[in-house]
Amino acid sequence: MKWNKYEEDSTEFDIRIKDNFFSKEDFNHIKNFAKNINFSGLNAVYAGEEKHVWFTTNAPKEICDIVCKRVSDFFKIKILKLNLCQYSLVAKSDKTEVHKDYNDHCNFQTIVYIDGNEDIHCGTGFYTKIGEYEYRLNSHIGFKPNRIVSWGSDVYHAPLSFTDSYKKRISLITQYKIEK
């Protein structure tokens, strides 16, 4: 698999979606761990100029290992380093929190939807930049448990947490440095 070139602001999307990504046994293990997480203000993360807010907790090594193996095998990529493997809770927001995660240590990422409202408006939106602080929704992927969505980290994206029908969701997010 060859991913798009990693530019600072990509307008080329290479978004991959796979339902039932994990075996039933692995997904239940991943989901059961999430059920015991106490997301609190201590887990809040604020990033970027717009103060993108979410609640996270690191996944244990055994879950990171399950994810890395499955991602590497499925996408046929060589993972040089797993930089982030965290459970994330995103609550309803009154604004769009568009961002990208590209840096020297991250050029590929995934989100696995774990628990939430199975709805097109509870997933992730992908955007093109049209001005200094202006973005246009280009594509959006709905929430479905055990669905993985992957993309190059140079693509702008945001949870669709601003939509009327959005309900809080728990996902497993990962960021990698992969061999190009």
Q: What domains lie within the chain, and their CATH numbers?
A: 16-178 (2.60.120.620)
Residue 29, pLDDT score: 97
pLDDT tens digit string along 47-90? 444 444 568 899 999 999 999 999 999 999 999 999 999 999 88
Strands of 25-78 (E only): list them: 44-47, 52-58
- Sole residue written with tokens 């997480």: 37
On whether the CB atoms of residues 129 and 135 are closer than 8 A, the answer is yes
Q: Determine whether 131 is exposed, middle or buried from the number of CB atoms within 10 Å of its CB (0-12, 13-18, 19+).
A: exposed
Q: How high is the pLDDT of residue 81? A: 96
Distance CA 86, CA 52 (A): 16
| Amino acid, res. 44 | A
C-beta separation of 155 from 98 below 8 A: no
pLDDT per residue over 88-118, tens digit each? Answer: 988 777 777 888 988 889 999 999 999 998 9
Contacting residues for 172 by C-beta, under 8 A, at least 6 apart: 30, 34, 59, 63, 67, 85, 86, 87, 88, 111, 112, 114
| Stronger pLDDT, 87 or 42, i.e. the higher one | 87
Residue 135 C-beta-side C-alpha neighbours within 13 Å: 21
